[in-house]
Structure 1
Amino acid sequence: MLRSGLKLNSVLSRRQSTLAFSKYPFLKELGLKEENLGVYDGEWFGNGPVFKSVNPATNEVIATTRTGTKEDYERVVAAMDKAKKDWAEVPAPVRGEVVRQIGESLREKQQALGQLVSLEMGKITVEGVGEVQEAVDICDFAVGLSRCLNGSIIPSERPGHFMMERYNPLKGHVGIITAFNFPCAVMFWNGALSLVAGNTQLWKPHDNLCLTSIACNKIVSDVLEKNGYNPAIASLICGSGKEVGEPLIKDKRMELISFTGSTHVGRHVNEVVANRFGKTILELGGNNAMIIDEDADLVMALRATLFSAVGTAGQRCTTLRRIYIHDNIYDSFVDKLVTAYKQIPIGDQLDPTTLCGPLHNQQAVDNFANGIKTAKEQGGKVLCGGNVLSRPGNFVEPTLIAIDHDAPIVQTEIFAPIAYVLKFSNLDEAIEKNNDVPQGLSSSLFTQNQAAIFKWTGPAGSDCGIVNVNIGPSGAEIGGAFGGEKETGAGGRESGSDAWKQYMRRSTCTINHSKNLPLAQGINFG
């Protein structure tokens, strides 16, 4: 199989290159080539279709990747099976040291990897570098976690008995399926915790983000090999959902599937994995709201609105989609917001002066245009933006639309920089509207009223997984558990807090160190 991969490279190298690879010297720094192999089980190979990685600002092809097949998938999982037992037996603090070194390697390559994320995904460079910082941060978090994977000591009602909880690695593997918008960070949210937990893992990235995934996996595998571990512990398979995604989610050897993507696909993943009694962590759609009360610090609220709604060109799962503004300040705040929107620099994501880069692909542009059209048909009024820009690449204008909360489109997520501005008259009404959508990821309230703050964060407040005050809904830190409720993922959590428990098998252990055999609940069985 390795020989066939080398032969492929030889054939490809004879073709006259029409790729934009040479424009970006940081690609070579990350070990990438014009033609890459996108499957890894300790060796790089691939026997599937060739995928193109495209710069969304120009639609030029950057490089290509030979992806995997169903047969390649089986080979990878067989290699993971061999690596599983030894890795699970490594003490957790030693596994943590490996993850620490992965974090250090990410630090060393942060600028280059951040530029690659920016180039291939389309987010501006500071956000690309910031995404790699998230990966570094979760590695740091996981290192500390490796020394405190604590269970509980539980008092036993029986004399001479000791009860405790113990966390062990999963018996099966972890499958990590990531989306295009955070092609580096989300893998490490899962992968750093999974590795510390003692699991073997297989990463299936988004079809369009092969280069980022290969670069990230090279960093991980190099550290594993340097420390003498089987690099199949952290395997990779690029490929289509049909060719490798379906086998992955159907495979009983994959005990846990972490899926980040659309609600539509996530529903399918959940049904398939649940049917085989597997576990899932789902990070799906968000339809996030910000409530700006009449006593809010409006300068702060304006700044938060701009980043939350326009950052990553509206392609974060935590992007601000609905802005609820109190009646008494609505007109003046909207005027300031429109003025600010008109000053947002739109352009190449690698240009340091750009604040809004391109959408990821043409499908996203089409969704944007269709969303504007539908909003108008449902009574929406475009206050700012609303146009697809006539230039190379996938550029659109950040858009504000005044619309009624009851318009059907307000219930949906459009993955583009479209934000709806809506009115409310009191906090109870605003909370009700915040919760009145199928999604439940992130939410935000701007107020200086303490009673409002504690109502908002309490049982009668926001029903989202992320409930913020005086910051926007976008841009979470790694230390908290990340995830949502309802159609966002039914309570799955990644990253910080105690999300690590989902990557481990919890056992309640009762140890009898006496010479007697009393039964619980005082039962006498003769």
Structure 2
Amino acid sequence: MLVGQKERGIFINGEWRESYSGTYRTITNPATLEKLTEISYGGKEDALEAVEEAKAAFPLWSKKTARERSTFLYKAYEKMLEHKERLAQILTSEQGKPLSESRTEIESAASYLLWYAEEANRVYGEIIPSSKANRRSHVIPHAIGVIAAITPWNFPASMVTRKLGPSLAAGCTVVLKPASQTPLTAMEIVKIFEEVGLPKGVLNLVTGDARAVGEALTQSPDVRLITFTGSTEVGRELMKNSAQHIKKLSLELGGHAPIIIMDDAKLDVAVDLTLASKFRNCGQTCICANRVYVHKKIADSFVEKLVTKVKNMKIGNGNEESTVIGPMIDRNAVEKAAEHVEDAVKNGAAIASGGNEWDGDLAGYFYEPTVLVNVNDQMKVMNEETFGPVLPIDTFDSVEDVIEKANQLPYGLAAYVMTESTNHVFKLTEALEYGIIGVNDVFPATAEAPFGGIKESGFGKEGGKEGIHEFVEMKYVSIGITE
């Protein structure tokens, strides 16, 4: 990628090309608003052609042995790590997060390729003991077909490989639609697969208009599964648009993660983990802390220690090694954070730290890391996903009280518990209505474990042995034995 030059952002059947419309979209650095490049901006025609080529490539790819398919994933894994620094620089430039976080994300993204290179060889069928002497019953795994993978802007590397790894390992072919704000990292990952010799048509990339491309992918009968990470609102639209062809969906949607801090928690550890969860990627993560419930016995000490550290966080360009808080993705994101803070204050909250747009020397989209106290359940920040660096803190008296508070929203992606008590661990983790629960751990996502939500946070799993099963259909074969 050369800064300032136009990029062909459409990759179909092994060829990089312009979109049918011939239009381009400018990609800017959210910290400085400087132009990075222009990329082809595709639409319905590009998406449908990509589906056609993926469909044509499916028979040969799916018939390759698991070991043959895994070879490409191993090679791509090695290439990603080889180019980690370059990829991290691109990621930070288009998305904004600090370089240290981008490097970690590239490592995480590569780990999904490694895991599914290994897991490709462990998609087992089954022989079922028959109830009849003259019958044999087999269950055989088969790749589901053409996959549409739609990825978000907040993790433009790891969200891509979390979908590409298992789908390619299972024998599926893919049409990838990255977020319009952050296509450059996805393009570089596709180039890595091109470099390692992935057969033409197996992996296709369409950058462009989200609605036009999304509608083409949902309405095509040749797309058998859509895997999507994004908002609950868009998830609903995908479900509705996919109903015509009874398309399979795997959806990782919005969240509103609570952190529950019991009075027996190690206070300094709880403070540091809360900060790490909330302010990573400037609060723009689907599993970050959205609300804190801290026991009344330790609330004052907790807030004091946390606010002191928040005030010392360095805000700036993610390309500077000392930066802790980078920019938000765009102006709308900043305005939403400001709206939530304004609503909270209007309804009785107090600002313990932050509460304003950052007035530093950069032109980008910055909002100060903000801590709110004296919050209540009627405030927007306690009900809607802020997706920004705003942390509301509430208090509680009993385990029963905090369980009720934590479960009251329709979201069920991630929740966290800080405690040193085994009783609290079991009581809380069994009662909390969330697909992912971290106990004294706010970074639960890992290639070897299933990741996904419940309720309005979606369904389906990414990661672990469960992740590859999303892309496989089990055929039951009943064989009669004739005499």
TM-score range, shorter chain: over 0.9
Q: Partner of 1:464 in structure 2?
A: 434
Separation of aligned partners in 2, 1:339 and 1:207: 37
Q: Partner of 2:165 in structure 1?
A: 192
Please give the root-mean-square deviation of Cα atoms over the aligned residues, in Å: 1.5
Please list the CA deviations of residues 460-500 of structure 1 after superposition, one character each: whole Å capped at 9, or x if unmatched: x111010111112x4522211111111111x3211223121
Match of 1:376 among 334, 345, 350: 345
Tell me which amino acid in the other structure corresponds to 2:319. L
Match of 1:344 among 283, 303, 313: 313
Give the alignment of 1:235-246 within 5 angstroms. 235-246=204-215
SS in structure 2 of the partner of residue 58 of structure 1: coil
Q: Partner of 2:77 in structure 1?
A: 103
160-169 or 307-316: which moved more?
Answer: 160-169
Separation of aligned partners in 1, 2:472 and 2:378: 43
Q: Partner of 1:494 in structure 2?
A: 462
Contact 1:46 1:69 in 2 (8 A): no
- Pick closer, same or farther for the CA change 1:380–1:497 going to 2, 3 Å: farther
SS in structure 2 of the partner of residue 146 of structure 1: helix
Please list the CA deviations of residues 293-349 of structure 1 after superposition, one character each: whole Å capped at 9, or x if unmatched: 000111111110111011100001011111100011111111111111111111110
Q: Partner of 1:393 in structure 2?
A: 364
Match of 1:155 among 129, 143, 146: 129
Contact 2:343 2:379 in 1 (8 A): no
TM-score, reference length from structure 1: 0.88
Is 2:8 aligned against 1:34?
A: no
Gaps of 5+ in 2: none
Is 2:35 aligned against 1:67?
A: no
Q: Partner of 2:26 in structure 1?
A: 52
- Pick closer, same or farther for the CA change 1:278–1:488 going to 2, 3 Å: same
SS in structure 1 of the partner of residue 260 of structure 2: strand
Tell me which amino acid in the other structure corresponds to 1:502. E
Q: Partner of 2:240 in structure 1?
A: 271
Match of 1:217 among 185, 190, 195: 190
Cα distance, 1:281 vs structure 2: 0.9
Please list the CA deviations of residues 74-107 of structure 1 after superposition, one character each: whole Å capped at 9, or x if unmatched: 3222222221111011011110111111111111
Separation of aligned partners in 1, 2:43 and 2:375: 48
182-191 or 33-42: which moved more?
Answer: 33-42
151-160 or 478-487: which moved more?
Answer: 151-160
Is 2:416 aligned against 1:444?
A: yes
Contact 1:411 1:438 in 2 (8 A): no
Tell me which amino acid in the other structure corresponds to 1:397. E
Which consecutive aligned stretches of 4+ in structure 1 deviate over 6 angstroms post-superposition?
none
Q: Partner of 2:228 in structure 1?
A: 259
Cα distance, 1:210 vs structure 2: 1.9
Is 2:308 aligned against 1:335?
A: no
How many pairs does the alignment contain? 477
Match of 1:362 among 321, 331, 334: 331
Q: Partner of 1:287 in structure 2?
A: 256
- Pick closer, same or farther for the CA change 1:154–1:456 going to 2, 3 Å: farther
Please list the CA deviations of residues 418-466 of structure 1 after superposition, one character each: whole Å capped at 9, or x if unmatched: 11100010111111111111111111111111111111222xx111010
Separation of aligned partners in 1, 2:444 and 2:351: 26
Give the alignment of 1:162-201 within 5 angstroms. 162-170=136-144, 172-201=145-174
Separation of aligned partners in 1, 2:227 and 2:303: 39
Contact 2:4 2:35 in 1 (8 A): no
Separation of aligned partners in 1, 2:402 and 2:138: 45
Gaps of 5+ in 1: 1-26, 516-526
Q: Partner of 1:510 in structure 2?
A: 478
Is 2:115 aligned against 1:145?
A: no
Separation of aligned partners in 2, 1:475 and 1:465: 11
Q: Highest Rg: 1 or 2?
A: 1
Q: Partner of 1:9 in structure 2?
A: none
- Pick closer, same or farther for the CA change 1:337–1:356 going to 2, 3 Å: same
Calculate percent identity across the aligned residue pairs: 31
Separation of aligned partners in 1, 2:292 and 2:146: 41
Cα distance, 1:514 vs structure 2: 4.9
SS in structure 1 of the partner of residue 314 of structure 2: coil
Tell me which amino acid in the other structure corresponds to 1:284. L
